[in-house]
Amino acid sequence: MDQRDPMYDWNEAGERWEKPAYRIQLDDQTLRDGLQASAVHSPSLERKLAILHLMDRLGVDTADLGLPGAGPHAAREVTQLAGEIRDARLTLRPNCAARPLRTDIAAILEISQKVGIPIEVCVFIGSSPVRQYAEGWTVDQMQRHTEDAVSFAITGGLPVSCVTEDTVRARPDTLRRLFLAAIRSGATRLCLSDTVGHATPAGAASLVRFAREVVRESGAEVGLDWHGHSDRGLGVANTLSAIRAGVSRAHGCALGLGERAGNTPLDLLLVNLRLLGWIENDLTALGEYCREVSAATGVPIPPGCPAIGRDAFRSASGVHATAMLKAGREGQETIAERAYSGVPAALVGRRQDIDIGPLSSACNAAWWLQSRGLDPTPERAQALLQRARSVARVLTETEIRAVLDSLDETRESRGRP
C-alpha cells in the first residue's frame, strides 16, 4: 500500500467542487432565529455572552443579536451583546433583524449610536404568493415597504441586508422587483431565504443564479446570503449548493436550532466547509461551542450527532477495532484514526476512541488498555469482554476500572504477580 496516499477519494473524481474565488462568510443566527424553536429555553444574558465569545473563536464573521424592535427587554440584551463585541474587541460583526417598520429600524439605530459600532440591519419581508395571501399584500405594497425600510436604515448610516422570506417559493418577477427596489434604495446584501425548508440543492442553485443575474442587471456591488432550514433534512446540502452557485455568506444555527425541524446546523456546515478546503477556521472549540449552546437552551446533543456527538468518534465493533489497531501498530496513527471515520477527530479537537461492548473483540480491550498506558494482557481482555457480554451494552469507564481492580485483587489473593 502506498502510505503517502492511503485512500482513493471519489469526491475528487469527475465533477469537482472547486473552491469559490471569494471568501466565504458565516452568519450565526443562534441567538435570534435559533431561539424560536419550541423546545428551546431562553438563555440568560451570561450564557449568551459566553456563546458570543465562542462564535468569535470559531471565526464566525457576523452574528444576529436579536430583534430589538420586539420590546425593551430585547433592546437591552442586544445593547449589552453589542457592547461586549466592542469592549472585548471581538472580530465578529453584529447584525439585527427588523421587520419593515421604522420603529424596528429606529431601535437598531439607537443601539448602534449608544455602543458606537455599526450594526447591520437585516430587514425581512415575505415574498412568496403564500405570504402575500396570508398578509393581504400586493406586490406594489411589498415594494413600497422594502424601499421605505431600506432607505430609512441607510439614512441612519447603517449597512442593510434585504431578506426576502420564503424566497424559494416566490415568483421570479416579484423577486426581481423586490431585489432591484432594495438595491436602488441602498441595500448592500440580498438574503435568499428557504424559510420553510422547501428547497433542494438544485433549486437552491437555480435561485442563486437568478439572483446573481438580477444583481448584474443592477450594476451594483451586492453580496448574496443564503438562509436555510432543514424541514427536508437538506439544510447543509442546500447551503453548499448555494455557495457553489455564488452565495458569499451562509447562515446557520448551532445544533441546527430553529423552528420546526430547525435551521441549517452551523456546526456541520463548518466541518464540511473545512473538509472541502473552502475555509481555514480553527474548529477545535466547536465541541465547547455546541455544549455551551446545549446547556444554555436545554436542547441535548444527540449521541450520534456528526463531529460533536458523544459517539461521533467512538466504535465498539470488533472488526473496526482490529483494523484500527493493526494500522496503529504499523506506526500509522493518522490512518488508524481515518480507517472508520470520515472526519478527522483532531479537526474538532477530539480523538478516536474504542469502546468495549457485546460486539467487541480482544482488539477493543487492547486499544482501550494501551490508550491508557495499561498492559493489554489476554487475561484482562477476556475479563472485560466477559463483563460486556453479561450486561449486553457498552461498558462505562467506571465499570471497566472495577473489572480491572477486581482482577488485580484476585491475582493478589492467589499470590500471583
* Residue 221: strand, helix, or coil: coil
Give the domain range for residue 327. Answer: 314-413
Q: Are residues 281 and 58 in contact, defined by beta-carbon separation less than 8 angstroms?
A: yes
Cα–Cα distance measured from residue 87 to residue 48, given in angstroms and rounded to the nearest whole number: 15
Assess whether 259 and 328 both reside in one domain.
Answer: no
The number of residues in the chain equals 417
Give 344-348's long-range contacts (Cβ < 8 A, gap of 24+): 345/312, 345/313, 347/271, 347/274, 347/275, 347/283, 347/284, 347/307, 348/271, 348/283, 348/284, 348/286, 348/287, 348/307, 348/308
- Final residue in a domain of this structure, among 262, 297, 332: 297
Residue range 195-202: mean pLDDT, rounded: 97
Cα–Cα distance measured from residue 265 to residue 256, given in angstroms and rounded to the nearest whole number: 4
Assess whether 276 and 332 both reside in one domain.
Answer: no
Query: Can you read off the three cell numbers belonging to residue 368?
Result: 482501550
Check pLDDT > 70 for residue 396.
Answer: yes
- Final residue in a domain of this structure, among 272, 297, 322: 297
Alpha helices in 298-361 (DSSP H): 318-329, 333-338
Cα–Cα distance measured from residue 277 to residue 19, given in angstroms and rounded to the nearest whole number: 7
Q: Which is it for the CA torsion 264, 267, 272, 274, positive or negative?
A: positive
Q: How far apart are the first and last CA of the chain?
A: 42
Which CATH number belongs to the domain containing residue 169 in this structure? 3.20.20.70
* Residue 7: strand, helix, or coil: coil
Phi, psi (degrees; rounded to nearest 5) at 399 = -65, -40
In one-letter notation, the amino acid at residue 260 is R
Q: What are the pLDDT digits (tens) for 284-305?
A: 999 999 999 999 999 999 999 9
In one-letter notation, the amino acid at residue 103 is T
60: closest CA among 33, 95, 22, 21?
Answer: 95
pLDDT value, residue 341: 80
Q: What are the pLDDT digits (tens) for 16-51?
A: 888 999 999 999 999 999 999 999 999 999 999 999
Assess whether 258 and 129 both reside in one domain.
Answer: yes
Look over the chain and give the mean of its residue pLDDT values, rounded to a whole number: 92
Specify if 5 maps to a domain: no
Assess whether 46 and 176 both reside in one domain.
Answer: yes
Q: Are residues 325 and 363 in contact, defined by beta-carbon separation less than 8 angstroms?
A: yes
Check pLDDT > 80 for residue 413.
Answer: no
Give 169-173's long-range contacts (Cβ < 8 A, gap of 24+): 169/128, 169/129, 169/130, 169/196, 169/198, 170/127, 170/128, 170/129, 171/128, 171/129, 172/210
369: closest CA among 358, 389, 353?
Answer: 353
Cα–Cα distance measured from residue 41 to residue 56, given in angstroms and rounded to the nearest whole number: 23
Q: What are the pLDDT digits (tens) for 100-138?
A: 999 999 999 999 999 999 999 999 999 989 888 888 889
pLDDT value, residue 411: 73
Cα–Cα distance measured from residue 117 to residue 264, given in angstroms and rounded to the nearest whole number: 28
How far, in Å, are 55, 128, 168, 192, 247 from residue 210 at the CA level? Answer: 31, 16, 11, 11, 12
pLDDT value, residue 2: 47
Tell me how many domains the chain contains: 2
Assess whether 396 and 367 both reside in one domain.
Answer: yes
Assess whether 288 and 339 both reside in one domain.
Answer: no
Residue range 188-206: mean pLDDT, rounded: 97
Specify if 54 maps to a domain: yes
Check pLDDT > 90 for residue 75.
Answer: yes
In one-letter notation, the amino acid at residue 87 is D
Specify if 9 maps to a domain: no
249: closest CA among 230, 266, 227, 232?
Answer: 227
DSSP label at residue 263: B
The beta strand positions in 259-341, using DSSP E, are 314-315
Q: What are the pLDDT digits (tens) for 219-252?
A: 999 999 999 999 999 999 999 999 999 999 999 9
Specify if 12 maps to a domain: no
Assess whether 61 and 209 both reside in one domain.
Answer: yes
Cα–Cα distance measured from residue 216 to residue 222, given in angstroms and rounded to the nearest whole number: 9
Assess whether 265 and 380 both reside in one domain.
Answer: no
31: closest CA among 60, 57, 67, 61?
Answer: 67
Assess whether 290 and 350 both reside in one domain.
Answer: no
- Final residue in a domain of this structure, among 271, 297, 323: 297
pLDDT value, residue 416: 59
Assess whether 62 and 166 both reside in one domain.
Answer: yes
Check pLDDT > 80 for residue 377.
Answer: yes
Cα–Cα distance measured from residue 250 to residue 224, given in angstroms and rounded to the nearest whole number: 9
pLDDT value, residue 39: 93
pLDDT value, residue 415: 65
Specify if 306 maps to a domain: no
Assess whether 185 and 248 both reside in one domain.
Answer: yes
Residue range 266-282: mean pLDDT, rounded: 97
Specify if 6 maps to a domain: no
Q: Are residues 388 and 356 in contact, defined by beta-carbon separation less than 8 angstroms?
A: yes
CB hemisphere CA count around 178 (13 angstroms): 32
Residue range 404-413: mean pLDDT, rounded: 82
Q: What are the pLDDT digits (tens) for 298-333?
A: 999 999 999 999 999 988 777 777 777 676 665 566
